[in-house]
Structure 1
Amino acid sequence: MVGSGLAGLSLARELADLRTDGVVVLEAGPDRGHAHKELLTRDESLRLWHTEDPDFHRNWTSDLPPHYLHSSGLRKRLGGRSLYWHGVCLPIEEQVLRSGAWPTALAAELLGELPSRESLYDQVAKRLEDWAGAPVSHCRGTRERWLLEHLRTLGYPVDPTPQASRSERVPEGENRQVPFTPVTHWNGPLPEPLPYPVLPDCLVTRMQAGSGGLVEVTVERPDGSSAVLLAEQVVLAAGTFENTRLVGRLLAETHGRDFWEFGNLTDHVNQGFLAVVPRESMPYPPEAGRAFCVMPMLDVCNSYVFFDLMESPRPDAALVGVWTMGEQVSTESRVRVERVSPQEQWELKVQPVISPADDRTVERQANQLAEIVERVFRIERTAYTLRKEDFREGRPLYLQQLEAALEHDPASAGGAVFPYVYPLGSVDHEAGTLALGGDAVDEHGSVRVMPQVLVLGPAVFPRQGAANPSLTTLALAKWYARRLRQR
């Protein structure tokens, strides 16, 4: 197994449940502790995500900055992005799974259409609920209940955002919703750890055919040493770009070339705002706790809308984050894997494309957000100023707008909104380069030129729709585990 993030460790757990022997997990980064970032103080968590993470690593370039630059990168450590995500568990939309892009048999299992088997999504949800001690879609307190009722009264059909999280006490002394991470399979709360070794500081750089049908896996260590491991099966679960790099090198060397290109790179289209309004205009209960709601995907903007009632540093102010997340329609973005030196260094170049269809999604999202500004916060809708040109430029960014929102005093200046854009790649939802059933990977996840190598994670999504990818990643881990066990 290559990669110890959400995909890799979850697959390892599924294989352990099936009593599969001989599994080893390789992680490129160090073991730097297993605490989720949500267990840190809010300031520490924010800095870790945006500016001060020693394990942030980006080994690609982008032809369209700041897209796939800025905060786009890997979290190169044991646990990977599973120590940073927010736990949101939305399934890919049914119409996307039925669109013909996804393999029919897999779509049927995700949707629960096999008479003898519960849907993959439901199986994963049950495991997460056992860990959390509550349904993923339960209401998490009086403040969230107030927000739900308030928005429904205004005509917005919101529900609690489904999250794989549970309440834990943090250093600030409060209880906070902390997302699931499969790292807990090693250090509790499950009764026993996995029987597999997890080896940090093992960077996989190459795969090639070995004798007897085995795969030779080249591993480099931080001290410059290297080794070649032999494996009957290899599962790449190191994130979309790292999986693409390894498969790209394999394909290039197999065909005697110095580069390989992949299409179908997609991400989610995200924009939103922070609203600061007088506290009396939003009389939510004083009890501490997050209120996090989602509105089902709207046809008018092909996006989900999220509402997050946040803790405000001002007792007389309410701070609310609202954002949209939609499917990127264009599949024209490409990734090029290229040999750049005789020393076998391979570089990854991202070539993003924002199409006119993506522009229309951005404009529809902006109209929806402007309506919310007016109806929910009673601020002129023209205060939401972002347009397609702003999304293309990838500005303004979230962090600078949050800083401005925290400094705003609604008592003297009135309510205000602070719009922001997440450039492509900023929310770690990149997908699609190694799509199931495509040129590089078959409909079962095996690399066509070397079927002993499988790819797991959003890289294999033929379409990812508008939903967060994590629930589908967990569901695919179950699906892959059964296939590997049969092998």
Structure 2
Amino acid sequence: MASDTAVPGFAECVIVGGGLAGLELAAQLATRGGRPPLVIEAGPDRGAEHYRWALNGAAADRYWIDPSQDDSFWRPYEAKDGSFVGLAGLRRRLGGRSLYWHGVTLPIEDWAFDEQWPESVVRDLTKEWDGGEPLYARVERELAEWSGWDGATAQSGAQQVALGGYLFQEVLQALQYGEDGRWKAYSPLERLTAGDATVLCDSEVLGVLTRNGVTCGVRVRHQGVVHDIATERVVLAAGTIESSRLAIQALSSEGLLDRPRLTGLVDKVAHGFSASFAPGSLPTELEQMAAANVVFRAPSRDDLRSNIFVKSSVNEHGLTILRTSFIGEQIAGPLGVVECDARGEWPWQTSVRCSMSPVDQKLARAQQDEIQRFFSEIWGLAGLVDAPSLVFDGEPGSPDVARRLVASRSFQTAGEVCTYSFPLGTENHEAGTLPLGSVLDEDHQFRDLAGLYAVGPAVFPRAGAANPAFTTLALAKRLAGILAPQIA
């Protein structure tokens, strides 16, 4: 739906980034009847097809495990310490990561909604919003309707699975299915029509223009030419690292940062294994779900700050493959940094550093211990004896994690096992640099810079263990409710 309109001189509201957060915000503004915002996307319009819909089988897998094969893959930063490399990066195209995610829809856990999250935001997400049901309930209902998912029947035919001391429930995945194994996850790009927003592609936002503590425009490079677009409202929705770069530049231009940097960058602490079993040796529910593209999840005990995901499949040798991942919360702190080189013109060169704190390292060890216990129980359940000890790479994780994720396809006998430790950044769940309640106020606006807003995982005060897309969609709906009256 990209527009060929020339670069405007003025816009009521500018949304920087045409990915999940930015496009959902635009779509929600349209439902409220406000004037169409201007969405600025750095990449081209390559269509609205999810990569698992456009590609099938091995071709789609290659895009997943080797994103450098994708012309849209983009890493606009320098990684300083071995994190945020490999699988980590953005997708520079209209739709962004909304055309690459796998649809897992989970709310942030209650234990993560501590005092760092503003009470009003937690209330809107979980209790009541806009005079009715909370945001999480609304978004879940909309995604379930879009996907045709019915939690009472479940996509796999199994509602729950008891395994290894946990009761697993099927996760709502915002997916639709086609032929030949093709599927797609929800993208707001499908919802937008030409009148909902003006979309300007191939346009890199160099920086946000400010004057005396007030946002007054954006500077854009479009087809090699630099333009200034006047506006009173700019929403940063370009992904955590790019939104951080733009925020650093804007705050620095107003003298609001001691150094051109933001802290709090986090990803997920994640480990897992894949193992092969003889057909019929695992519970019936797992055998049933092997035929469907479904994921089961159980919350861990609270000290693990993790969700446990299991998914089964049948590989090319007829073995049942069980893949398990423990995905946990990295605690935000000074070791996660987005920093800019303030010399020269915009865009400033950006770098990231992200290391595990002692608290995160403790979590990683606890995950590995629990994975061993969980694995040993499953091993015995399948009638096998003497479960092997699982070996995990240490920080910053398995450098060949992409290869390990697909290694089980070539397992030829029952009892083969492969472990993986995810380097920070490779989950593509980066968050935390522009938290609500501190850098931002409760209305998503920068406390010290009027007219500048942010949305997306960057605004999470605590990321929790959950995948961020569900909360991203909910907060986009919330911000639309705040901005719509201003641009009516």
TM over 0.5: yes
Name the CA shift for 1:396/1:59 in 2 (closer, same or farther; >3 Å). Answer: closer
Report SS of the residue matched to 1:393: coil
Counterpart in 2 of 1:181? 187
Name the CA distance, whole Å, in 1 between partners of 2:142 and 2:63.
29
Higher mean displacement: 373-382 or 9-18: 373-382
Partner deviation per Cα, 1:93-119 (whole Å, 9 max, x = no partner): 12222x111111111111115694211
Counterpart in 2 of 1:209? 210
User: Is the 2:339–2:350 contact (alpha carbons within 8 Å) kept by the matching residues of 1?
Assistant: yes
Partner deviation per Cα, 1:169-207 (whole Å, 9 max, x = no partner): 2xxx24x55311111113xxxxx6553221210110111
Name the CA distance, whole Å, in 1 between partners of 2:122 and 2:426.
28
Letter aligned with residue 53 of structure 1: D
Higher mean displacement: 283-292 or 294-303: 283-292
User: Is the 2:206–2:346 contact (alpha carbons within 8 Å) kept by the matching residues of 1?
Assistant: no
Name the CA shift for 1:272/1:256 in 2 (closer, same or farther; >3 Å). Answer: closer
- How far has the Cα of 1:318 moved from its partner? 1.2
Counterpart in 1 of 2:200? 199
Letter aligned with residue 62 of structure 1: A
1:448 aligns with 2:463: no
2:73 maps to which of 39, 51, 56: 56
Counterpart in 2 of 1:130? 145
1:238 aligns with 2:238: yes
1:327 aligns with 2:329: yes
Counterpart in 2 of 1:31? 45
User: Is the 1:371–1:381 contact (alpha carbons within 8 Å) kept by the matching residues of 2?
Assistant: no
- How far has the Cα of 1:165 moved from its partner? 1.5
Counterpart in 1 of 2:31? 17
User: Is the 1:14–1:481 contact (alpha carbons within 8 Å) kept by the matching residues of 2?
Assistant: yes
TM-score (norm 1): 0.89
- How far has the Cα of 1:73 moved from its partner? 0.8
Q: What does 1:52-201 align with in structure 2 at a 5 Å threshold? A: 52-65=69-82, 67-97=83-113, 99-113=114-128, 116-135=131-150, 139-142=154-157, 145=158, 151-152=161-162, 155-169=165-179, 173-174=180-181, 176-186=182-192, 194-201=195-202
User: Is the 1:258–1:339 contact (alpha carbons within 8 Å) kept by the matching residues of 2?
Assistant: no
Counterpart in 1 of 2:427? 427
Counterpart in 1 of 2:340? 338
User: Is the 2:264–2:336 contact (alpha carbons within 8 Å) kept by the matching residues of 1?
Assistant: yes
User: Is the 1:210–1:216 contact (alpha carbons within 8 Å) kept by the matching residues of 2?
Assistant: no
User: Is the 2:217–2:231 contact (alpha carbons within 8 Å) kept by the matching residues of 1?
Assistant: yes
Name the CA distance, whole Å, in 1 between partners of 2:168 and 2:257.
52
User: Is the 1:270–1:323 contact (alpha carbons within 8 Å) kept by the matching residues of 2?
Assistant: yes
Report SS of the residue matched to 2:300: strand
Higher mean displacement: 287-296 or 130-139: 130-139
Name the CA shift for 1:292/1:286 in 2 (closer, same or farther; >3 Å). Answer: closer
Letter aligned with residue 78 of structure 2: T
Name the CA shift for 1:469/1:194 in 2 (closer, same or farther; >3 Å). Answer: farther
Name the CA distance, whole Å, in 1 between partners of 2:190 and 2:345.
39
Name the CA distance, whole Å, in 1 between partners of 2:42 and 2:153.
36
Counterpart in 2 of 1:189? none
Name the CA distance, whole Å, in 1 between partners of 2:289 and 2:200.
46
Report SS of the residue matched to 2:26: helix
Partner deviation per Cα, 1:275-325 (whole Å, 9 max, x = no partner): 12222423625984224211123225221100011241112x112211001
Letter aligned with residue 422 of structure 2: Y
User: Is the 2:338–2:352 contact (alpha carbons within 8 Å) kept by the matching residues of 1?
Assistant: yes
Higher mean displacement: 360-369 or 248-257: 248-257
Partner deviation per Cα, 1:193-236 (whole Å, 9 max, x = no partner): 55322121011011112699662211112x42111111121111
User: Is the 1:137–1:160 contact (alpha carbons within 8 Å) kept by the matching residues of 2?
Assistant: no
Identity value in percent: 32
Name the CA shift for 1:268/1:213 in 2 (closer, same or farther; >3 Å). Answer: closer
Name the CA shift for 1:115/1:59 in 2 (closer, same or farther; >3 Å). Answer: closer
Counterpart in 2 of 1:367? 369
Name the CA distance, whole Å, in 2 between partners of 1:212 and 1:69.
35
User: Is the 2:163–2:378 contact (alpha carbons within 8 Å) kept by the matching residues of 1?
Assistant: no
Name the CA shift for 1:162/1:134 in 2 (closer, same or farther; >3 Å). Answer: closer
User: Is the 1:330–1:353 contact (alpha carbons within 8 Å) kept by the matching residues of 2?
Assistant: no
User: Is the 1:136–1:165 contact (alpha carbons within 8 Å) kept by the matching residues of 2?
Assistant: no
Name the CA distance, whole Å, in 1 between partners of 2:432 and 2:373.
32
Counterpart in 2 of 1:294? 297
User: Is the 1:207–1:250 contact (alpha carbons within 8 Å) kept by the matching residues of 2?
Assistant: yes
1:464 aligns with 2:467: no
- How far has the Cα of 1:403 moved from its partner? 4.6
Name the CA shift for 1:417/1:374 in 2 (closer, same or farther; >3 Å). Answer: same
Letter aligned with residue 296 of structure 1: P
- How far has the Cα of 1:260 moved from its partner? 1.3
Letter aligned with residue 372 of structure 1: F
Counterpart in 2 of 1:219? 220
Name the CA distance, whole Å, in 1 between partners of 2:331 and 2:149.
35
Report SS of the residue matched to 2:450: strand
Letter aligned with residue 30 of structure 2: A
Name the CA distance, whole Å, in 1 between partners of 2:150 and 2:91.
29
Structure 1: gaps of 5 or more residues: 187-191
Name the CA distance, whole Å, in 2 between partners of 1:153 and 1:403.
23
Report SS of the residue matched to 2:188: coil
Moved over 4 A (4+): 210-214, 256-259
1:308 aligns with 2:311: yes
TM-score (norm 2): 0.88
Q: Give the number of aligned pairs.
A: 462
2:390 maps to which of 374, 384, 387: 384
- How far has the Cα of 1:409 moved from its partner? 1.1
Higher mean displacement: 321-330 or 292-301: 292-301
- How far has the Cα of 1:333 moved from its partner? 2.3
Name the CA shift for 1:361/1:293 in 2 (closer, same or farther; >3 Å). Answer: same
Higher mean displacement: 343-352 or 52-61: 343-352
Higher mean displacement: 288-297 or 106-115: 106-115
Report SS of the residue matched to 1:20: coil
Structure 2: gaps of 5 or more residues: 1-14
- How far has the Cα of 1:31 moved from its partner? 0.8
Letter aligned with residue 456 of structure 2: G
Letter aligned with residue 54 of structure 1: D
Name the CA shift for 1:139/1:103 in 2 (closer, same or farther; >3 Å). Answer: same
Partner deviation per Cα, 1:439-485 (whole Å, 9 max, x = no partner): x3223211233221100011111101111111111111111011101
